[in-house]
Amino acid sequence: MSERPAGKLKKWKGIAVSPGIVIGKARLVDRSRVKILYQYLIGEHQVIKEVDRFKEALEAAKQQINDIKNKMPDQLKKHAFIMDTHLMIMEDSMFSTASINTILQEKINAEWALKKSVQDIETLFTQIEDPYIKERIVDVQYVAERVLRNLGGKEQESLSEINERVIIVAHELSPGDTSSINIGKIMGFITDVGGRTSHAAIMAQSLKIPAVVGLENVTQHVQEGCLLIVDGGTGEVMIHPDDDLIIQYQERQLRQEKFDSSILRMGHLPAETTDGHRIAVRANIEFLEEVTAAKDHGAEGIGLYRTEFLYLRGPRVPTEEELFEDYKQVAEIIAPNPVTIRTMDMGGDRFSSDLSLGKQPNPALGLRAIRFCLREPKIFKTQLRAILRASVFGKVQIMFPMISGLQEVLDTRRILQEVMEELDRGGLPFDRNIKAGIMIEVPSAVAVADILAKHTDFFSIGTNDLIQYALAIDRGNEHVAFMYQPFHPAILRMIRQVVEVAKAAGIKVALCGEMAGDPLCTFILVALGVNELSLNPGGIPMIKKIIRSISMEKAKGDLEEIFRQQTASAVLELVKQKVESLIPDVDKQFLLANGG
Amino acid sequence: MELVKKLRIENELGLHARAAAKIVALAGQYKASLFLKKEEQEVEGSSILSILTLACPRGTELVARATGEDSEMLLSALSSLFEQKFGEGK
């Protein structure tokens, strides 16, 4: 290890977008803008030569893009249309012919002429109002950059040519970059910019390579070839780690790989207790792109599809068509398993249609979720239409958030009925038997659950909000956050009450809060009789494994003991004991570190 | 031969990048040249960037003009592309 460049240990924390630990050499990928010099051409001969030089650079760029496209790994083929758009841009007269004309008429060098064309296109695009169309200017800039590099004779650094195992360090990675990644060689990547939903992040997840983005200026501190540790699960990045740290992370890496692979292998086995009780284990997701990961981890459907993202993405409310397309794809990919689409759970302040909503002093208790939807039926109906139309493409269920009493259920069902009639009149097909359920997350809904059960197809207990509302604890408030206690006897009683009411009414009950993914809670929820657990995809194999080692009969006995405890800490102590004896073959150190 | 046809954008998303790309790809299959006109602005049907700058939401009326020997075939293919809402279902 003496050959690695010496330096001081430095740590960063960015946005963890694709889990896994990698230790390896850094490879800086230069994606900085090419410097352009102005040059006046003398004589007709030079001008003609310059045009040829431009054409050659353009042809080379087309060839490069075609190569990237052809070498794209199969799992990325669906993104190939981006490459087609890039090819079209290069053939566009505003891009190519305009540049050539500038060279001819103004007698200037190809680089400057191209820069001028791009500026002209940028000017036109700034006048476009539609943010989605406006954003396409980044494709023009990307393509121009490629042609400029070819003009400069600079070698176009392609990620596909990297053939030693390295960690890519870049300011940002374009779709072209990530598409050409040589999967066997790239151990992971880190970038200065980007977020959870950036293209690079989604690619890293589909390729299952660790990645951390949003590190701001990491490229300025990393030297080529220096040693890096990247933890794509926590977002931590370390350069120049000392030997102790390397050993520590190697052990962690090994432990995690062993654990992950043993658990993943069994992820597709059904979640059935040793005495034959079957629990549906499904995934909570937020983006269409996560569906595949959910399936890979053994999810038997999507138990909670959060739909806020499309509303938060742009300045305008998404159209029915945009929503429909998204829901339809989720339904198709997860079929024949079901997807439960939760109607949007957000505050009115996101919608500019009524500015008077402004900032609400107490948003958690304000006009949001179903309350907002009932006040703005037009926005609500658009979403319901999209969900209903998507229901013919798979098995779709609807779920309404933040229900606090019967009136809301009745109003919601009436609107749903109206939307169905509208679709019928328009001759648009939908699943007539679609199940519509409600979230149980407001304490008042627990108290009247027996009344609500008669008017709804299923319950899904949202423990995160339920705990906050029931215990009057704001998790974001550091002074009281420790009092957010899933094992508070009040919470366990509430869950028990909801399950009992659901059983009596003959409807299914799911649980989709963080408790569903907490290995310490699993046997309690199973013993209580929850039919479905919905959690983050990554946790599914572990929860399924735990369920497979639970005996319902024994868990029910333990449950009685748990319900005799009077404080959250007493429950927790007992739970830790029970979990140890329940699942002896699970790596406890890892489990308790994660769940405890 | 020059032919002109009125077209209306019926797909919900309007003329976004993928739809524009489909027009360019289609125009490339014919010898005739295609032009699209929105109000007073006319652009080349072979230029994806110009089509995007027309910024056409749903409901926009366009005039398609084709010049060349297979103009008729080009326009009829184009109008069915519009009718099929660029293959987007709606």
Whether residues A239 and A353 fall in one domain: no
Per the domain annotation, does A316 fall within a domain?
yes
Per the domain annotation, does A38 fall within a domain?
no
Domain around A227: 10-30+163-259
Nearest Cβ partner for B90 among A95, A130, A321 = A321
Indicate the pLDDT class of residue A23, thresholds 50, 70 and 90.
Answer: very high
Indicate the pLDDT class of residue A390, thresholds 50, 70 and 90.
Answer: very high
What is the DSSP code string of A545-571?
Answer: HHHHT--HHHHHHHHHHHHH--SHHHH
| Average predicted confidence (pLDDT) for chain B | 90
CATH code for the domain in which residue A502 is found: 3.20.20.60
Whether residues A144 and A223 fall in one domain: no
Q: B75: distance to nearest CA of chain A, Å?
A: 21
pLDDT digits (tens, 9 = 90+) for A110-156: 988 998 899 899 888 888 888 778 878 888 988 898 898 888 755 55
Question: Comparing A66-75, A347-356, A473-482, which segment has the lowest mean pLDDT?
Answer: A347-356
Q: A331 at the B interface (CB within 8 A)?
A: no
Instruction: Determine the Cα–Cα distance for residues A410 and A389; give it in Å rounded to an integer.
Output: 22
Whether residues A459 and A577 fall in one domain: yes
pLDDT for residue A286: 82
> Which residues from chain A sit within 8 angstroms of residue B18, using beta carbons?
81
pLDDT for residue A219: 82
| Average predicted confidence (pLDDT) for chain A | 86
pLDDT digits (tens, 9 = 90+) for A421-462: 999 999 999 999 999 999 999 999 999 999 999 999 999 999
Please state the domain count of chain A.
Answer: 3
Catalytic residue, chosen from B5, B7, B11, B16, is B16
- C-alpha distances in angstroms, A421 versus A69, A391, A414, A429? 46, 15, 11, 11
pLDDT for residue A355: 40
Question: In this predicted complex, what is the ipTM?
Answer: 0.85
Indicate the pLDDT class of residue A179, thresholds 50, 70 and 90.
Answer: low
pLDDT for residue A218: 86
Catalytic residue, chosen from A199, A221, A268, A455, is A199
Indicate the pLDDT class of residue A399, thresholds 50, 70 and 90.
Answer: very high
Q: What average pLDDT does this structure show over A333-358?
A: 75
Whether residues A136 and A181 fall in one domain: no
> B47–A92: do the CB atoms touch at under 8 Å?
yes
Instruction: Determine the Cα–Cα distance for residues B81 and A437; give it in Å rounded to an integer.
Output: 40
The residue of chain A nearest to residue B16, with distances taken between CA atoms, is A133
Residue where one domain finishes, among candidates A230, A259, A288: A259
pLDDT digits (tens, 9 = 90+) for A221-273: 888 888 999 998 888 999 999 889 999 999 888 887 777 777 777 788 899 99
Q: What average pLDDT does this structure show over A472-477?
A: 80
Specify whether A199 is catalytic: yes
pLDDT digits (tens, 9 = 90+) for B31-55: 999 999 998 899 999 999 999 989 8
Strands B41-44 and B33-38: antiparallel
pLDDT for residue A302: 97
Query: Which residues, 6 or more positions from A165, have their beta carbon under 8 angstroms from its beta carbon?
Result: A24, A25, A185, A186, A187
Q: What average pLDDT does this structure show over A394-406?
A: 97
pTM value? 0.58
Chain centre distance of CA A456: 29
Query: Which residues, 6 or more positions from A443, have their beta carbon under 8 angstroms from its beta carbon?
Result: A466, A469, A470, A494
Per the domain annotation, does A37 fall within a domain?
no
Q: A93 at the B interface (CB within 8 A)?
A: yes
> Which residues from chain A sit within 8 angstroms of residue B17, using beta carbons?
85, 132-133, 136
Name all domains of chain B by residue range, CATH numbers in brackets.
Answer: 2-84 (3.30.1340.10)
Amino acid letter, residue A412: T
Per the domain annotation, does A511 fall within a domain?
yes
pLDDT digits (tens, 9 = 90+) for A540-590: 988 998 999 999 999 999 999 999 999 999 999 999 888 876 654 544 444
Per the domain annotation, does A39 fall within a domain?
no
Q: How far apart are the first and last CA of chain B?
A: 33
A24 token code pair: 């390896």
Which range is most confident: A167-171, A346-350, A495-499, A583-587? A495-499
pLDDT for residue A199: 67
Q: What average pLDDT does this structure show over A371-395?
A: 95
Whether residues A145 and A226 fall in one domain: no
Interface A-B: count of C-beta contacts within 8 A: 63
pLDDT for residue A254: 86
Whether residues A336 and A188 fall in one domain: no
Checking if the pLDDT of B24 tops 60, the result is yes
CATH code for the domain in which residue A146 is found: 1.10.274.10
Q: What average pLDDT does this structure show over A504-531?
A: 95
Whether residues A420 and A454 fall in one domain: yes
Checking if the pLDDT of A596 tops 50, the result is no
Per the domain annotation, does A5 fall within a domain?
no
Amino acid letter, residue A230: V
Whether residues A367 and A392 fall in one domain: yes
Checking if the pLDDT of A311 tops 90, the result is no
Checking if the pLDDT of A357 tops 80, the result is no
Output A1 or A6, whichever has higher pLDDT.
Answer: A6
Output B57 or A350, whichever has higher pLDDT.
Answer: B57
Q: A577 at the B interface (CB within 8 A)?
A: no
Residue where one domain finishes, among candidates A235, A259, A283: A259
> Which residues from chain A sit within 8 angstroms of residue B57, using beta carbons?
130
Q: B43 at the A interface (CB within 8 A)?
A: no
Whether residues A405 and A472 fall in one domain: yes
Per the domain annotation, does A586 fall within a domain?
yes
Nearest Cβ partner for A133 among B16, B88, B90 = B16
What is the DSSP code string of A76-109?
Answer: GGGGTHHHHHHHHHHH-TTTHHHHHHHHHHH-B-
Amino acid letter, residue A556: K
Strand partners, A435: A397
Specify whether A512 is catalytic: yes
> A94–B21: do the CB atoms touch at under 8 Å?
no
pLDDT for residue A557: 94
Per the domain annotation, does A3 fall within a domain?
no
Whether residues A440 and A459 fall in one domain: yes
pLDDT digits (tens, 9 = 90+) for A280-303: 999 998 888 788 878 888 999 999
Residue where one domain finishes, among candidates A244, A259, A274: A259
Whether residues A354 and A337 fall in one domain: yes
Q: Do residues A366 and A347 lie in contact, with contact meaning Cβ atoms separated by under 8 Å?
A: yes
Chain centre distance of CA A255: 25
Which range is most confident: A4-8, A314-318, A395-399? A395-399
Whether residues A145 and A209 fall in one domain: no
Handedness of CA A230, A234, A235, A240 (dihedral sign): negative
Checking if the pLDDT of A24 tops 50, the result is yes
pLDDT for residue A1: 41
Indicate the pLDDT class of residue A3, thresholds 50, 70 and 90.
Answer: very low
Nearest Cβ partner for A89 among B13, B48, B89 = B48
> Which residues from chain A sit within 8 angstroms of residue B24, using beta carbons?
88
Q: What average pLDDT does this structure show over B70-89?
A: 89
- C-alpha distances in angstroms, B28 versus A63, A381, B83? 19, 41, 19
